[in-house]
Structure 1
């Protein structure tokens, strides 16, 4: 009988030998714990992988809601545009004399023709202007010519008054007045045309983000 067997106990429940039984947890519980640990590990890997993919597609940068972006680059709104004006050869001018000097309309028309303009009617001014223009002259044209052909003709006579009327055609009228001393010098007229065609000032730059 072993020393571990209490007195009076025997039979089939008697403990014999020099080793005692070991208590082990059931195998089913061990498998369940292992499965839970594995699931947690897999979920952790999936979450980490998702974060890595987000960083790849977003460049690893997060938008800041606290203030504006700081990686903006200046960008001009638009490039400066050169004003396109018609050439003298595209403009027909009627020359009228509102003074008492004879031959003034013809000599002026001849000079304009030398400068490339097309010449229409040449003669005395209509009654509403005859002997009534005290300035160097009056330039008349349709409203559509205000910033185009009328400006080109005005470059030939700086002191002329510019007006528009309801005419249907594109022809311009040059009505010579008492203050007329002759057309501006060709060099001065060219400089005036150059200034008219100069590019407009560049627009202020903006940041493009």
Structure 2
């Protein structure tokens, strides 16, 4: 191939790429913007209704962890271990000083709901349950106390659990919801 032909072909390809990029850019510039979510809409989870007997997996549950013990960093270590089991990480922090928990307390909208039971099944020892609404986007709050026994061996802890009755749960999204 002669040098002149090679130069011509190179320039032709560059012009085609430039023209295509310009066409695409102008198209994006003049197109309608994607639809915006309604005010207050939650873009990080979607409602999923489970019928009795349907499975909820760990990756469909977002968990917050609070430390009510004197041990430093226990909430962070617990969250890391729950993440390793597939749970979605929520917020971590310290419980208020007046919070009294022995081993583990599970706080959920309904403590007998499948998401609360799945999280509770990860822990050793006696657990207490409290009805409440976890902060942020979590569906379950775990509070670890002074007598924290730790998590069960991963092989013995379930990664999914069947719903006992019909329930709607806000399942975390890995990517933002397409609203357009």
TM-score tier, shorter chain, comes to: 0.5 to 0.7
| Correspondences of 1:22-171 after superposition (within 5 Å) | 83-129=53-99, 132-133=100-101, 135-143=102-110, 146-158=112-124, 159-165=126-132, 171=139
Pairs aligned (count): 112
Aligned counterparts of 1:96 and 1:122: Cα–Cα separation in 2:
6
Q: 1:146 to 1:85 in 2, by over 3 A?
A: farther
Q: Which stretches of structure 1, 4 residues or longer, exceed 3 Å deviation after superposition?
A: 166-170, 196-199
8 A contact 2:53–2:163 mirrored in 1: yes
Higher fraction of helix? 1
- Deviations along 1:80-111, one digit per CA (max 9) or x if unpaired, are x9722321111111111101110111111100
CA RMSD across the alignment: 2.7
What is the match of residue 188 of structure 1?
156
Provide structure 1 residue ranges, at least 5 long, that are not aligned to the other structure. 1-80, 200-209
Deviation at 1:167, TM superposition (A): 5.8
| Partner deviation per Cα, 1:100-130 (whole Å, 9 max, x = no partner) | 110111111100000000111111113441x
Where relative contact order (Cα < 8 A, 6+ residues apart) is larger, the structure is: 2
Q: Which whole-Å CA distance do the structure 1 matches of 2:82 and 2:69 have between them?
A: 19
Alpha-carbon distance, 1:160 to partner:
1.7
TM norm structure 2 = 0.54
Aligned twin of 1:179: 147
Instruction: Classify the secondary structure of the residue corresponding to 1:178.
Output: coil
Larger radius of gyration: 1
- How far did 1:147 drift? 2.2
Q: 1:173 to 1:166 in 2, by over 3 A?
A: closer
When the two structures are superposed, what TM-score results if normalisation uses the length of structure 1?
0.47
